[in-house]
Amino acid sequence: MRFLFLGDMVGKTGRTAVWQRLPGLISDLKLDFVVVNGENAAGGFGITEEIFQETINAGADVVTTGNHVWDQKEAVTFAARHDQFLRPANYPAGTPGRGSNLFFARNGARVLVANIMGRVFMHPELDDPFTTGETILASCPLGEQADAVIFDFHAEATSEKQCFGHFVDGRASAVIGTHTHVPTADCQILNGGTGYMSDAGMCGDYDSSLGMDKEEPLNRFISKMPKGRFEAATGPATICGVGVEISDRTGLAEKIAPLRLGPRLSETIPDFWA
C-alpha cells in the first residue's frame, strides 16, 4: 500500500498548495491512502468545515488536527458530523468528534488512523497518550481488524515522539510526528517494522516563522512586547510530508522517505515511487 502523509497546512497559501498538488500526486504516485494534518489551515489557527471539505475533495482520505483543533468555534459543531475528521484521541470522554477511525484505502485495505497529542510542553494537557495508544491498538489490532495502522502523533518534544514510536513499534505501520512545522531528518523504519519520522514539517511558506509572518514573532523575541497579531505568511508554499510503502502481507513499513515540493527547501519525492 502506498501511503502519503502531509504535515500541518498553514494558512491560505499552505492549504491552496495542497489542494492544487494533491490530485496530481495521487495520480502520478498511484497513492492508495492520504492523511493531511489541517489544524493550522484557517489563518494559522484551526480549521473550518469548508476548508476540511475542500481538503477531502482534493483527495485526502483523513484530516487530522492537534492542539488548535477548537480554535475555530464551528469545529466543535462539525467534528461529530464527519467520520474523516479526527481530533486528538486523548481528549476526555465526551469531547465532540472522534480520535480514531477505520477507513478503506483505494486498494481495499482497512486502515486505522489515530490522532494523538503529546503532553510535554503541550496545552491543554490531555490524557496519557501511551495509554490511549494502547487502548486504540487493542480495539483494532494490526493484522486482525486492520491491514494498516497510522498514528499522527502531535507533540512538541522529539523525545516523547520517539518513545511513542518505540512503544508501538511492530504494532503500527507508521508513526508520523506533527506540530513543530519543521521537517526532521530522522525518517526511518524502526526495529519492529514501524515507519517513523519525528516531524513531517508543514505545508506553508518557509520564508516565515513556522508559517507565520516573521515580523511579529521576531518583534516579540526582541522587545518582549506584542505589536500586533500573528498572521499566516502569504508567500509561495512548500509541501512537506512523508511517503511510506506498507506491506500488504504484514501491514508494516517496507520503505519510507520524505516528500518536499516547492521553493526554499530541496525538493524530493520518494524515489521508490518515481
- Averaged pLDDT, 187-207: 98
Tell me the Ramachandran region of residue 46: left when phi exceeds 0, alpha when psi lies from -120 to 50, beta otherwise. Answer: left
Q: pLDDT-derived band of residue 274, with 50, 70 and 90 as boundaries? A: confident
Contacts of 186 (CB under 8 A, 6+ apart): 196, 197, 198
Would you list the DSSP string of 129-148?
Answer: HHHHHHHHHHHS-BTTTBSE
Q: Is 166 a catalytic residue?
A: no
Q: What percent of the chain has pLDDT over 70?
A: 100
Residue 210 above 90 pLDDT? yes
pLDDT value at 236 more than 90: yes
pLDDT given at position 273: 86
Among candidate residues 68, 154, 179, 181, the one labeled active-site is 68
What is the residue-wise DSSP string for 72-125?
Answer: STTHHHHGGG-TTBB--TTSPTT-SSBSEEEEE-TTS-EEEEEEEE--TT-SS-
Q: Which of 117, 108, 99 is nearest to 153 (CA)?
A: 117
The string over 229-263, giving b where at least 16 C-beta atoms fall within 10 Å of a residue's C-beta and e elsewhere, is ebebbeeebbbbbbbbbbeeeebbbbbbbbbbbbe
pTM of the shown model: 0.98
Find where cell 494559522 sits. 44
